[in-house]
Amino acid sequence: MSAEEHTSASVPAVSIIVPARNEEASLGTCLESLVTQTGVSFEIIVVDDHSTDRTREIATSFSQVRLIEAGPLPAGWTGKNNAVVTGAREARGEWLLFTDSDTVHLRGSLARALAEAKENHAELLSYSPAQVAVTFWEMATLPVIFAELARQYPPSRVSDPNSPEAAANGQYILARRDAYDAIGGHTAVAGKILEDVALARAFKSAGRTIRFRYAADAVRTRMYRNFRQLHEGWTKNLALLFPNPGWLAAKTLALWSSLWVLIMLVQLFGWSRWFDGIDAAFFIYLGTRLSRSNFRSDGLINGALFGMPMFAYLLLRSKHMHRKGSVFWKGRTYGGAESSAKQTADSNLISAGKYS
């Protein structure tokens, strides 16, 4: 479908809404992957959330993209919710795709996602993207986090209308417009830092059908590009994603410590066959536990050796910062686990990276 067809369609099948706050590092690649989608009519709306970098310039360089301003942040709202609600208000599509600027969409994925939602009678379809890890701490930490997320929010149960389990990944949420409006959209979860899971719960509580799955065949993302972003991003999210972060941190550290105790025993006993077998079996157990993350074997090894204590640390830090009411993200400080945000005066403190 040509660009002319995209813009001339009176009612596009899908409105793609991309909230963007200081996203010059990733926005261009994201938009390149979106404007070349085929097989379905669509419009693309980038919502600039008070960026101070080249975000606006990059967005306006795409003739198929409509750029709008997020407007002042209302009291009690998070920045991302304010941005996506602004975009949804302007959207004309029968379906709304909320996607982050650090995503890359495979060719034809939009049409396939829409067909999948319709085929499964899903009023909300969410994809968990393939995760791109580059730096050491990305490669070590992400397999542990996503393995635990898969255990906490099994896609099969999330997608089961008879299960109360609900979840979504804010990097890719395709929602039918009338169902989205009926449950109040992101306005209904305006103050939620973990707006994706809250939105999914609102859909499911209203008896709406949701579908959630890992989707390396559709979309990939690099969430955080350095240790600082990884540190701040997961501090913001982890205590909200897991109901008992302290207990999970303790269990993770116990498993990790057991591995190193076994390794030391193997060394102490001169690699005896008995201890070597126990050590190998335990390492296989940890690898199997992390395999739900959908990372390759080298990621699972890094996770087992180094990522588990980092995950435990981030869990405890997230719990502490939420309890303290001082969660910092992209130039805003969120007070309490799910309360209002205040704009930081110094724009130099604004962190580039994804919303959630």
Which of 207-211, 212-216, 260-264, 279-283 has the least mean pLDDT? 279-283
Are residue 103 and residue 180 in the same domain, yes or no?
yes
Q: Please say if the pLDDT value at position 281 is more than 70.
A: no
In a domain, 245, yes or no: yes
Task: Please tell me the total count of domains within the chain.
Answer: 2
Mean pLDDT of 108-136: 97
Q: Does residue 345 or residue 218 have the better pLDDT?
A: 218
Q: Which of 225, 242, 262 is the last residue of a domain?
A: 225
Are residue 183 and residue 288 in the same domain, yes or no?
no
**CA 247 to chain CA centroid, nearest Å:** 23
Q: What are the tens digits of pLDDT across the range 218-250?
A: 999 999 989 999 999 999 999 999 999 999 999
Q: Please say if the pLDDT value at position 268 is more than 80.
A: no
Are residue 52 and residue 40 in the same domain, yes or no?
yes
In a domain, 335, yes or no: yes
Are residue 27 and residue 107 in the same domain, yes or no?
yes
pLDDT at 350: 32
Are residue 211 and residue 314 in the same domain, yes or no?
no
For 171, which DSSP code? T
Are residue 236 and residue 205 in the same domain, yes or no?
no
Mean pLDDT of 26-34: 98
Are residue 219 and residue 263 in the same domain, yes or no?
no
Which of 7-16, 87-96, 337-346 has the least mean pLDDT? 337-346
Are residue 248 and residue 330 in the same domain, yes or no?
yes
In a domain, 163, yes or no: no
Averaged pLDDT score across all residues of the chain = 87
Q: Does residue 261 or residue 246 have the better pLDDT?
A: 246
Please state, in angstroms and rounded to a whole number, the distance separating the CA atoms of residues 326 and 169: 24
User: Among the ranges 94-103, 252-261, 336-345, which has the highest mean pLDDT value?
Assistant: 94-103
Q: Please say if the pLDDT value at position 253 is more than 60.
A: yes
Are residue 100 and residue 206 in the same domain, yes or no?
yes
> 80: domain CATH number?
3.90.550.10
In a domain, 148, yes or no: no
Please state, in angstroms and rounded to a whole number, the distance separating the CA atoms of residues 18 and 51: 13
pLDDT at 299: 80
Work out the pLDDT band at 327, boundaries 50, 70, 90.
confident
Q: Please say if the pLDDT value at position 274 is more than 70.
A: no
Q: What are the tens digits of pLDDT across the range 155-183?
A: 999 999 999 999 999 999 999 999 999 99
Q: Which of 225, 253, 269 is the last residue of a domain?
A: 225
Are residue 220 and residue 330 in the same domain, yes or no?
no
Are residue 117 and residue 84 in the same domain, yes or no?
yes
User: At a CB cut-off of 8 Å and minimum separation 6, what does 238 contact?
Assistant: 145, 245, 314, 315, 318, 319
In 210-337, the DSSP E strands lie at 210-214, 219-221, 327-329, 332-334
Q: Please say if the pLDDT value at position 89 is more than 50.
A: yes
Work out the pLDDT band at 349, boundaries 50, 70, 90.
very low
In a domain, 103, yes or no: yes
Give residue for tokens 């997961």: 234
pLDDT at 333: 81
Q: Please say if the pLDDT value at position 212 is more than 60.
A: yes
Are residue 218 and residue 324 in the same domain, yes or no?
no
Range of the domain at 242: 229-349
CA atoms within 13 A on the CB side of 321: 22
Work out the pLDDT band at 264, boundaries 50, 70, 90.
confident
